[in-house]
Structure 1
Amino acid sequence: MQPRITVVGLGSGDEDQLTLGVWKKLKQAKRLYLRTDQHPMVSLLRDNGIAYESFDSIYTSNDTFEQVYETIAGQLLRLSKEEQGEVVYAVPGHPMVAEMTVQLLRARCPQEQVELTFMGGESFLDQAFVTLGFDPIDGFQLLNGTDLSVYSLNPLLHIVIGQVYDTHTASDVKLTLMELYPDDWEVVVGHALGVQGEERIHRIPLFELDHLKDYGNLSLVWVPRSGEERLRSRTFARLHEIVEILRSPEGCPWDREQTHQSLRKNLIEEAYEVLETFDEEDPDHMAEELGDLLLQIMLHSQIEAEEGGFTVWDVIGGLNEKLIRRHPHVFGEMKADDADEALSNWQQIKQEEKRKKGIDPNELPLLSGVPRELPGLMKAYKLQKKAAAVGFDWSELGEVLNVVESELSELKEAIASLSKQEQQEELGDLLFSVVNLARFLKVEPEEAMSQANRKFFERFGYIERQLRLKGKSFDQTDLQEMESLWQEAKKVL
């Protein structure tokens, strides 16, 4: 006789809700095993003299739930083969709702030639719909309280969180929910729903979720669905929807007119505005500017979606795949003990990606790969680094200083010649040599230039403030007075 395991559901805990078929199977079972005897229906078994064995001891002899469930599934498979007949396995609720041991049996029984059948029972969801009073057709999520992620939360759906066994799990659930919901958002905690004499329902603000002390095997948390804008505004889906509306015929005339080319300067400006916030101690301002930069990405993606090129989901999907592919030391088997090794892995993978596209990296110009639209100082710095990597470089700092002085002399000659074309060319050479000097000094030229700009801005602002204190405007002063104030500014700023 082929070994067989029949999994039956004990229901939500009320004996009046137990199905007749399951009750017959329980009474007829020669060997009945329970995942746990911590369930209201177990008293009915005892009252009717139905013998059973539970796996509760396995919970105390293993460190994790995963080990517990694996052990139970393994023992059931062994017992079914030893019995050479039917083994009845009873679980709380419905066998196919939040029951990991059943999922393990579904995976392993075919491999071990053990027949697996099911007899459903009322799940805790049935009582949740009845007692809490919401219709699942409105949309709901069933989530695991022991493995809850903010990425799964959708405020437009009812959220039912099961397996909230204890205060520790409730605390984890609370912290995750607080990433999306306000601290005072009302949530509902239900214990033993539908079980007469044991049912308890608490409506509490979210921050009190882990203040309750009566959590157990039959506890759940319900977060009612809501269309409040303060919740939707914290989701990526809402951002995508807003940008789509702005670009629609019913949206904003300005947004509708934009193209990739018209938005070029906006993208650059927003990126630099983000950079400015790095020097401030204002995280709110940084968050705002990062949002403005993200808007540019959303707009360009929406333009392409309308033209049939790609969508923002393609952008996200491609980025996720690239990040995983280029970090095999994180998501794969490769090792990287330091940042240099990680960067080396990244570069090797980039080369392999080019080969798969039919591009031989060895045939590309050495200076390729430096973006054409980079700011001048930054581009010069990157070009010089690439050339220096193959030995095209000065050997010591003194040689670089000589080049700077030589280029300055050539610029002076060009100025004397009155040739604007020569002056522009020689000025460019001088700037290029200064970038080379910055590289030898291990100073980022863009950062040095930004610092100089900030310093000039602050010192010139000092001049303006001092003139204002004197009741003067720039029209009422002269260069000598401004130079004097500039020297003052250098001492205080």
Structure 2
Amino acid sequence: MTESTDIHRILAIMARLRDPQGGCPWDRKQTFATIAPYTVEEAYEVADAIDRNDLDDLKDELGDLLFQVVFHARMAEEQGAFAFGDVVAAISDKMERRHPHVFAGMSIADSDALNAMWDAEKKKERLAKLGVEADASALAGIARGLPEWQRALKLQKKAAMVGFDWPGPAPVIDKLKEELEEVRVEFEARAAAPGDPAAQDRLEEELGDLLFVAANLARHAKVDPGAALRRANHKFERRFRAMEAMAAADGMRLADLPLDAQDRYWDRAKQQEST
């Protein structure tokens, strides 16, 4: 292993950056709380590089994400809590423990049995960590820091494991229509009572129900809602940029045009993609 690929090099760099005497002022003043948003951001940038199939960028983004792990581990080491080596040991132990069919010769019938074993092991780990006061709910262990669409999926999957689930997509679609109607009613109620915080709160709640059911429909369709929304975002961005380019080619700015003229450019952008 060369110096450029040795994990000890990045650990030494991190220690130098956090050095109270000659380190970087910005790095020295950071805490777990201030670094956490960057950690989440770097994870999304990894996902973006994968989505674009840009392996050179993926290499860089994985490095950025690894640096976040190193940063948190260094701050913990300074407090005497744990060090980077402890992080590596903990995840290594966990992976071996959760894969007895690979490391301990256990026989697993199929992927469903594997998932059941995985969840049972995770529950056992939570009980060992928290003791008798541990949350015994089927929904236990779902992190509150997840993006809400991802947390919705995990809640739904956990509930489905104990049989609380629709039998297929048809009743979910019916429920989606029902929730959409309830959103429409609350929009009208808010319009009739402008400035009423209760009306706004009810609308927010119904929109949340609508999004929750939409995530459930994606789950029944075996579609990742994050990937689906990412695809929709990319499509919208691609078409909107095409609209801007068309308007510029006609000597106009899109922002100066009325909505009906903008819509005509939108239709042209869609037609351009289909040809």
TM-score range, shorter chain: 0.7 to 0.9
Q: From the superposition, tell whether residues 324 and 361 of structure 1 become closer, same or farther in structure 2 (CA, over 3 Å).
A: farther
Which structure dedicates a bigger proportion of its chain to helix? 2
State the 1:362 CA deviation.
9.2
Q: Deviations over 1:181-229 (max 9, x none)?
A: xxxxxxxxxxxxxxxxxxxxxxxxxxxxxxxxxxxxxxxxxxxxxxxxx
Q: Deviations over 1:452-492 (max 9, x none)?
A: 11111111111122223333333433322221121122233
Residues 143-222 of structure 1: matches in 2 within 5 Å?
153=1
Q: Which residue of 2 aligns with 1:253?
A: 25
Classify the secondary structure of the residue corresponding to 1:278.
helix
User: Which of 215, 218, 231 pairs up with 1:451?
Assistant: 231
User: Which of 226, 235, 238 pairs up with 2:6?
Assistant: 235
- TM-score normalised to structure 1 length: 0.51
- TM-score normalised to structure 2 length: 0.88
Q: What amino acid maps onto 2:123 in structure 1? A: Q
Gaps of 5+ in 2: 191-198
Q: Is the 8 A contact 1:354 1:360 kept in 2?
A: no
Q: Which residue of 2 aligns with 1:266?
A: 38
Whose Rg is larger?
Answer: 1
Identity %: 38
Q: What amino acid maps onto 1:278 in structure 2? A: I
* In the alignment, structure 1 residue 467 sits paired with structure 2 residue 247: yes
Q: Give me the CA root mean square deviation.
A: 2.1
Q: Which residue of 2 aligns with 1:283?
A: 55
Q: Which residue of 2 aligns with 1:489?
A: 269
* In the alignment, structure 1 residue 426 sits paired with structure 2 residue 202: no
Classify the secondary structure of the residue corresponding to 2:34.
coil
Cα distance in structure 2, aligned partners of 1:258 and 1:279 = 31
Q: Is the 8 A contact 1:351 1:361 kept in 2?
A: no
User: Which of 364, 368, 371 pairs up with 2:136?
Assistant: 364
Q: Is the 8 A contact 2:243 2:254 kept in 1?
A: no
User: Which of 118, 132, 145 pairs up with 1:346?
Assistant: 118
Classify the secondary structure of the residue corresponding to 2:51.
coil
Cα distance in structure 2, aligned partners of 1:293 and 1:363 = 31
Cα distance in structure 1, aligned partners of 2:30 and 2:12 = 18
* In the alignment, structure 1 residue 399 sits paired with structure 2 residue 171: yes
Residues 379-418 of structure 1: matches in 2 within 5 Å?
379-418=151-190
Cα distance in structure 1, aligned partners of 2:255 and 2:128 = 65
* In the alignment, structure 1 residue 301 sits paired with structure 2 residue 73: yes
Deviates more, 1:280-289 or 1:437-446: 437-446
Which structure dedicates a bigger proportion of its chain to strand? 1
Gaps of 5+ in 1: 1-152, 154-230
